[in-house]
């Protein structure tokens, strides 16, 4: 690896980002500029185009558009409102109850849809006005919504875990899905504790108690939505179908649920839903393609091997190396979206952690949780923009109430990092 290639790669990428060039183009142009330093232009253009096309030629990646479509159907099919009512019955009467409802609803919706942005939009659009009506500060409600929506990327089905499986060379998606449950739930609980302290300090109101019959009714209303989790994950764990096949089944199930059971999606709505799915899928796939291209360029320039050697010369302690990687990934998450970050940095850091005896499944959850925190941070945090956009509030006003919630997420990150059984227990139980 020549220092000049690393400097060109980083400098080109950062300059393009600072000029507000879309991140997919920034990644692709940075990779191409770096490659042009090493080989002539025609082979450089041909090779990078070939790597992008080859990287997207994957059966595993078919799961992503299907899960995106399932998320779109859920977003418009009345599933969010039923999950919110169910969450109200569960945690509404607690101190700061509506904040708890927001968190639980985001966890459930994010887990079912596999989309953090969909959870932030659907739950935030419904819960934001409700929390304001009850006397909650608007910025507090938005901060809770943004951070809790990120749990949908840890709790399966998760598109990001599918991307990590691809970047890591084919780690079992089923094992990654199982490994995400306990960390995702712990993040949700930590956010609830932080929100409870903030609600107590601000003296926010306690939600009204729900009588037993009403609670049972709301539970049964939400059962069809909750069943999707058992169908998708249960089918993968039992070996009935693959993650890609599970994504297609998720689309079929949510279509039937939205159109026949809840009757909130009509045939005339389908073209719009499909177009939105195609638009989102196109953005995601372009990001994946250019990120795979950059990952290959980095490998060609021997960057991962040199980073591995550098980290191992700094220390051979698991604690120190994992701390360094966590800090780097937290910084990366501030400036880069989660999908390209996973594709680019998995080949860089995975060889390092494997040399010190860290399981790739455990590291996958560490990486995704790190980058989920980045989704909530300025200047590139996509969830921050979605949450603030839905609530129509300036980002600056949300930063202060976000800080205690960030602290809660980082504490869970440290716990997950240094206590592997929290991620590895379920995969071992189901022999993945």
Distance CA 276, CA 267 (A): 15
CB distance 120 to 146 below 8 Å: yes
Helix 23-38, helix 41-56: angle, nearest 10: 140
At residue 206, φ and ψ (nearest 5 deg) are -90, 135
Place of tokens 């969909």: 118
Report which of 427, 430, 381, 404 is spatially closest to residue 120, judged by C-alpha positions. 381
pLDDT at residue number 2: 62
Taking the CA atoms of 326, 329, 330 and 331 in sequence, report the sign of the dihedral they define. Answer: positive
DSSP 235: H
Worst-scoring range by mean pLDDT, 84-88, 91-95, 233-237? 91-95
Residues 242-299 pLDDT 10s: 888 888 998 998 899 888 888 888 889 999 989 988 988 888 888 889 988 888 888 8
Tokens 């899905």 sit at which residue?
Answer: 177
What is the rounded average pLDDT of the residues 177-187? 93
Number of domains in the chain: 1
pTM of the model: 0.87
pLDDT-derived band at 375 (thresholds 50, 70, 90) equals: confident
The yes-or-no verdict on residue 211 having pLDDT over 70 is no
Helices and strands, number each (H, E), in the chain? 20, 0
The residue segments making up the domain with residue 21 are 3-429
Question: How many CB atoms sit inside 10 A of residue 396's CB?
Answer: 10
Task: Report how far apart, in Å, the C-alpha atoms of 93 and of each of 98, 210, 211, 345 are.
Answer: 8, 7, 11, 43
Check residue 109 and give its pLDDT: 75
Q: Which residues pair with 206 in a beta bridge?
A: 95
The verdict on whether omega for the bond into residue 157 sits within 30 degrees of 0, i.e. cis, is yes
User: Per-residue pLDDT for 180 more than 60?
Assistant: yes
Q: In terms of Cα–Cα distance, which of 338, 317, 323, 327 is closest to 384?
A: 338
Residue 206: strand, helix, or coil: strand
What pLDDT, on a 0 to 100 scale, did the predictor assign at position 18? 83
Looking up tokens 């950062």 gives 14
Average pLDDT score over residue span 335-345? 87
| Stretch among 148-162, 376-390, 413-427 having the lowest mean pLDDT | 376-390
- pLDDT(317) > 70: yes
Q: Which residues contact 416 (CB under 8 A, 6 or more apart)?
A: 183, 186, 365, 366, 369, 422, 423
């Amino acid at each position: 690896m020549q220092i000049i290639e690393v400097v060109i790669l980083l400098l080109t990428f950062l300059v393009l980002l600072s000029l507000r060039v879309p991140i997919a183009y920034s990644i692709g142009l940075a990779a191409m500029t770096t490659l042009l330093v090493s080989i002539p232009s025609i082979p450089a253009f041909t090779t990078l185009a070939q790597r992008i096309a080859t990287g997207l030629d994957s059966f595993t990646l078919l799961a992503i558009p299907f899960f995106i479509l399932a998320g779109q159907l859920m977003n418009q099919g009345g599933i969010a409102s039923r999950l919110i009512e169910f969450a109200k019955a569960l945690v509404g009467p607690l101190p700061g109850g509506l904040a708890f409802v927001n968190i639980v609803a985001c966890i459930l919706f994010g887990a079912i849809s596999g989309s953090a942005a969909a959870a932030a939009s659907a739950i935030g659009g419904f819960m934001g006005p409700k929390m304001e009506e009850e006397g909650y500060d608007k910025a507090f409600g938005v901060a809770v919504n943004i951070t809790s929506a990120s749990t949908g990327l840890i709790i399966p089905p998760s598109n990001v875990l599918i991307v990590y499986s691809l970047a890591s060379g084919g780690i079992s998606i089923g094992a990654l899905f199982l490994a995400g449950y306990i960390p995702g739930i712990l993040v949700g609980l930590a956010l609830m504790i932080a929100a409870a302290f903030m609600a107590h300090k601000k003296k926010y109101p306690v939600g009204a108690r729900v009588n037993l019959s009403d609670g049972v009714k709301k539970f049964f209303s939400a059962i069809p939505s909750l069943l999707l989790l058992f169908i998708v994950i249960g089918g993968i764990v039992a070996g009935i179908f693959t993650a890609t096949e599970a994504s297609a089944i998720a689309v079929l199930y949510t279509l039937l649920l939205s159109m026949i059971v809840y009757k909130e999606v009509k045939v005339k709505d389908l073209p719009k839903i499909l177009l939105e799915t195609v638009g989102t899928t196109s953005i995601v796939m372009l990001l994946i393609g250019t990120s795979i291209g950059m990952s290959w360029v980095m490998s060609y320039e021997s960057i991962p091997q040199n980073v591995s050697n550098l980290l191992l010369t700094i220390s051979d302690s698991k604690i120190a190396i994992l701390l360094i990687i966590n800090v780097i990934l937290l910084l990366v998450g501030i400036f880069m979206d989660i999908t390209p970050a996973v594709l680019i940095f998995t080949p860089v850091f995975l060889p390092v952690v494997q040399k010190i005896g860290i399981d790739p499944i455990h590291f996958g959850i560490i990486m995704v949780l790190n980058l989920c925190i980045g989704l909530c941070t300025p200047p590139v945090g996509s969830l921050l923009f979605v949450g603030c956009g839905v609530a129509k509030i300036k980002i600056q006003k949300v930063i202060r109430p976000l800080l205690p919630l960030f602290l809660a997420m980082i504490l869970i990150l440290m716990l997950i990092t240094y206590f592997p059984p929290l991620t590895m227990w379920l995969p071992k139980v189901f022999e993945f």
